[in-house]
Amino acid sequence: MRVCKKLMMNIINQAKRFKISCIKFSLFTILIASSSVQAKEDDEASLSFSGDNLVSLDSGTGERFSASQVALTLPLEYRARKNESFASYFHVDLTQFDWRGAEAAENDYIWLSMPIKYSQQRDRLNTFLVTLEPGFMTDGSNIGLDSVGINGSLVGRRLMRNGGYWQYGLMIDRAFGDYNLRPVIGIAFQASAKTWVDLGFPELHVKHDFTRDLKTFFSIKPMGGVWKEEIEVDAVKQDETISYNNWQVGTGINFHWREKLWLNAEVGQLRNRRIKATDATGADIKGTPSQTLYWQVGGKLQF
């Protein structure tokens, strides 16, 4: 805990020194984590930038709203033996909101975590999967036990002879803007020689390989987060929670640029958007931003 807290404070202090520039922030975190990367072959590091249009609110406090994010993921370790495998990653994302007409959500919100994946082949037709992602959710003002959050899932898969599978389980994911327990259910299959389909909850994903170097996809998934922030009300500092959630409906491409580097781009629509925060007076406020278009660009480096 002390090591993680020290690392977190170091990142935050450096980010503030450079005015939280997205590019500089990402490059700084790469320098911290890249020295310990021990990835398996075909694993990948990714860096992405995303944002959406500034739009009015359908209801709630405020006049206009938009959000943007920069995210970085690096593989750290991979181990496998017989029917088991273990992988760990370093992840950090920085989210910023532009909530005009409301004195809330004015900080820079950081999620710093270490995703862990474990899989076990129980027999010829059954696989057991566990994912855990402990991390810190904060605006950088104060880091304590209240800033600790965790994503996780427990999933079983029933394999099919054609390479597909049924899956079922339980999950907790801050992408919904909370930490409620939800089900995982779905089916995945090879629809054609070049098309792979994942249908279920919480995500729908269809991937089509036009060529070896050009892949397209369509997806529907939740996207949001929960953070702890420190605000000052009447000269008294207090810790509060901010949450944001929406559903992304988008399509995109992955293009093999050179050697092991892939570039990607995605566009789509954000629906069912909600934001909750505490304003400068200490009052809890809510907003329902209108549907809007979003974009995301990035790159992936395969190992």
Q: What is the mean pLDDT of each run of 10 residues along the chain (303 residues)?
A: 47 44 45 45 84 96 96 95 94 97 94 97 93 94 87 97 93 96 97 96 96 97 95 86 97 95 97 95 95 97 84
> Is the distance from CB of 243 to CB of 273 less than 8 angstroms?
no
What's the pLDDT at 236? 85
Cβ count within 10 A of residue 10: 12
What's the pLDDT at 41? 45
The vertex-249 CA angle with 246 and 253, nearest 5°, equals 130
What's the pLDDT at 82? 86
Instruction: Pick the closest to residue 220 from 263, 185, 251 (CA basis).
Output: 251
What's the pLDDT at 20? 44
**pTM of the shown model:** 0.85
Cα–Cα distance, 265 to 294 (Å, whole number): 11
Cβ count within 10 A of residue 101: 13
Instruction: Pick the closest to residue 91 from 115, 116, 126, 56 (CA basis).
Output: 115
Q: Which residues pair with 36 in a beta bridge?
A: none
How much of the chain is in helix, strand and coil states, percent to nearest 5?
10, 65, 25
Residue 33 has phi, psi (to 5 degrees) of -95, -25
What's the pLDDT at 52? 97
